[in-house]
């Protein structure tokens, strides 16, 4: 079922010069990419504050090492914030992550069905406004002097539901406007919004941390609300709304469909065009059927472990940096937050590089497993030598982000799109929404589990946490071995 667009974006009504024939299809495709990029970057920016303030809320740093702390930060900032500063403080911080990511992963499945039935632009704006308000509500706990764990857990649960709206919406909108050409590279560049959002969130939250940790939530919350207004004014959901011919295959967000619809696949091969226009090929498949598509289960379980690692870094890296001396110097909360952005900068380039390589060699699994297994020695080196000097810390953190986020980015975008639009034995290529839900939903379970485990395991020492991360990467690679064998056989046979 095609996602509904109930009304045209107000800006296009106010400024007719933005409509065709004044503006071309390419112009509007670029606009959609930019707007959805900013939208999801703001989602990730509003997710970043919990990781930045962990070192402020949690147990204090007990160290006799030199303290590199900004002079205008009061000593009270290291006293922690009940109920997170006790002996079970890291456990409670992990439970906060679990609350958010669990509701996020559950909401991801529901958001697709809802988005199929209402205006995607309004649904996306609804998610952005709700995310902004709940992020601000968490920060208000600072001024309201809230010390009840249930308050923060409750806010995170609601925030996770609103945040889950973002991904299905932006993927569906981008899919409506773009075809399949150079999918790996384009998706790799576009999917850098996650790392860019993390960087923006880290810089903003760290920059205002000295004024009180509440500001680290309020400012990113206001940011996503402002971007939500931009989305409301300018985002056009479908090219047909402006009279353009659909440039590629439609993305259906739900699992069910109300009837049979014909599709245009302008950039597809002739054989696939014929199959796609057959009655059987245009109906969405079921959830269990999608699991049977070759490659879906291996990539889904691979993403489970890949996302476990990526989100552990997302939520715990600033805390780790704060509690680990670099060249004998204990870094400040602000410096630790800013330094953690190096991991995300590496992630941006890693996602783009993985997409480019996979397009060039036409082998997603081989590219993914290469990045995964190279990330194992990178993490070992970062843990062993990252504290020697600031230069070593930055270089090894960049390398870790590059290798960890590369396959994560590739699997959530290009791989899901490839698997969801491949022709099955019965000719059905309308499985993209279901495949995306399976792969990213399974990955989100790992994302919820990783930060929780880190909160508990970190009390035994950071070596244990890194061992968990390395073991997870190893299992992620194992799930791809059979797919890699298939790709290698196809390459050798000349297919």
For 255-305, how does the pLDDT look when each residue is reduced to its tens digit (9 = 90+)? Answer: 333 333 333 333 333 333 334 444 444 445 566 777 877 888 888 899 999
Amino acid 72: pLDDT? 45
Write down the pLDDT at residue 219.
Answer: 97
- With cut-offs at 50, 70 and 90, classify the pLDDT of residue 44: very high
Q: Bridge partners of 67? A: 330
**For residue 350, how many other CB atoms are within 10 A of its CB?**
29
Note the pTM of the prediction, 2 decimals.
0.77
Report the pLDDT averaged over residues 73-98.
Answer: 78
Distances from the Cα of 278 to the Cα of 259, 267, 273, angstroms: 13, 17, 9
Helix axes 364-385 and 481-493, enclosed angle (nearest 10):
130
Q: Phi and psi dihedrals of 330, rounded to 5?
A: -85, 115
Tell me, what's the pLDDT at 278? 42
Q: What is the pLDDT of residue 147?
A: 94
Q: How many CB atoms lie within 10 A of CB 143?
A: 11
Find all residues with CB under 8 Å of 389, minimum gap 6, and list them: 326, 327
The rounded percent of the chain whose pLDDT value lies above 70 is: 79
pLDDT value of position 179? 62
Residue 307's pLDDT is what?
92
**Poorest-confidence range of 118-127, 235-244, 416-425, 460-469?**
416-425
Answer whether residue 232 shows pLDDT above 60. yes
pLDDT at position 181 is 53
Interatomic CA distance for residues 399 and 393, integer angstroms: 10
Which of 166, 148, 131, 135 has its CA nearest to residue 50? 135
> Would you state the pLDDT for residue 65?
45
Q: What does the H/E/C string look like for the chain?
A: CCCCCCCCCHHHHHCHHHCCCCCCHHHHHHHHHHHHHHHHHHHHHHHCHHHHHHHHHCCCCCCCCEEECCCCCCHHHHCCCCCCCCCCHHHHHHHHHHHHHHHHHHHHHHHHHHHCCCCHHHHHHHHHHHHHHHHHHHHHHHHCCCCCHHHHHHHHHHHHHHHCCHHHHHHHHHHHHCCCCCHHHHHHHHCCHHHHHHHHHHHHHHHCHHHCCCHHHHHHHHHHHHHHHHHHHHCCCCHHHHCCCCCCCCCCCCCCCCCCCCCCCCCCCHHHHHHHCCHHHHCCCCHHHHHCCCCHHHHHHHHHHHHHHHHHHHHHHHHHHHCCCECCEEECHHHHHHHCHHHHHHHHHHHHHHHHHHHHHCCHHHHHHHHHHHHHHHHHHHHHHCCCCHHHHHHHHHHHHHHHHHHHHHHHHHHHHHHHHCCCCCCCCCCHHHHHHHHHHHHHHHHHHHHHHHHHHHHHCHHHHHHHHHHHHHHHHHCCHHHHHHHHHHHHHCC
- For residue 389, pLDDT over 80 is answered with yes
Per the CB < 8 A criterion, the answer to whether 395 and 251 are in contact is no
* pLDDT computed for residue 251 by the predictor: 43
Residue pair 210/73 in contact by the 8 Å Cβ criterion: yes
Do 308 and 447 contact (CB within 8 A), yes or no? yes
List the structure tokens of 395: 């270089």
Please, are residues 284 and 257 in contact by the beta-carbon 8 Å criterion?
yes
Burial of 233 (0-12, 13-18, 19+ CB in 10 A): middle
Q: With 0-12 CB in 10 A as exposed, 13-18 as middle and 19+ as buried, what is 66?
A: exposed
- What is the average pLDDT across 215-236? 96
């Amino acid at each position: 079922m095609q996602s509904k667009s109930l009304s045209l974006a107000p800006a296009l009504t106010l400024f007719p010069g933005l409509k065709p024939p004044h503006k071309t299809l390419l112009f509007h495709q670029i606009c959609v990419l930019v707007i959805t990029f900013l939208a999801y970057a703001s989602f990730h920016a509003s997710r970043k504050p919990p990781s930045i303030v962990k070192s402020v809320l949690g147990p204090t740093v007990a160290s006799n090492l030199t303290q590199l702390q900004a002079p205008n930060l009061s000593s009270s900032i290291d006293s922690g914030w009940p109920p997170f500063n006790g002996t079970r403080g890291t456990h409670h911080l992990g439970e906060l992550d679990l609350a958010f990511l669990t509701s996020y992963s559950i909401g991801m499945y529901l958001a697709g069905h809802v988005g199929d039935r209402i205006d995607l632009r309004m649904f996306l704006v609804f998610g952005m406004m709700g995310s902004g308000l709940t992020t601000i509500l968490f920060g208000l706990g600072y001024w309201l002097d809230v010390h009840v764990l249930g308050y923060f857990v409750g806010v995170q649960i609601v925030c996770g539901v609103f945040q889950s709206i973002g991904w299905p919406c932006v993927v569906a909108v981008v899919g409506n406007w773009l075809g399949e050409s150079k999918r790996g590279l384009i998706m790799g560049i576009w999917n850098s919004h996650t790392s860019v959002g993390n960087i923006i969130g880290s810089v903003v939250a760290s920059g205002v941390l000295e004024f009180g940790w509440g500001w680290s939530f309020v400012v990113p919350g206001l940011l996503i609300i402002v971007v939500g207004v931009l989305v409301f004014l300018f985002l056009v959901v479908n090219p047909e709304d402006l009279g353009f011919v659909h440039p590629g295959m439609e993305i259906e967000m739900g699992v069910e469909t109300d009837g049979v619809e014909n599709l245009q696949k302008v950039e597809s091969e002739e054989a696939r065009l014929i199959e796609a226009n057959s009655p059987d090929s245009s109906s969405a498949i079921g959830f269990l059927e999608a699991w049977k598509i070759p490659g879906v289960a291996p990539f889904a379980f691979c993403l489970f472990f890949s996302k476990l690692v990526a989100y552990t870094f997302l939520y715990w890296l600033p805390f780790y940096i704060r509690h680990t001396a670099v060249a004998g110097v204990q870094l400040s909360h602000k410096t630790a937050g800013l330094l953690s952005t190096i991991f995300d900068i590496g992630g941006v380039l890693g996602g783009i590089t993985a997409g480019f390589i996979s397009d060039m060699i036409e082998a997603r699994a081989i590219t993914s497993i290469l990045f995964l297994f190279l990330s194992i020695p990178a993490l070992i080196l970062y843990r062993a030598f990252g504290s020697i000097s600031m230069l070593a810390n930055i270089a090894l953190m960049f390398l870790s982000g590059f290798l960890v986020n590369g396959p994560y980015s590739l699997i959530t975008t290009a791989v899901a799109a490839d698997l969801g639009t491949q022709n099955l034995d019965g000719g059905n290529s309308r499985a993209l929404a279901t495949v995306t839900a399976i792969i990213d939903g399974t990955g989100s379970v790992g994302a919820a589990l990783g930060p929780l485990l880190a909160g508990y395991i970190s009390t035994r020492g950071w070596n244990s946490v890194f061992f968990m991360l390395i073991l997870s990467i190893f299992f992620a690679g194992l799930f791809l071995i059979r797919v890699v064998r298939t790709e290698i056989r196809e390459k050798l046979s000349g297919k």
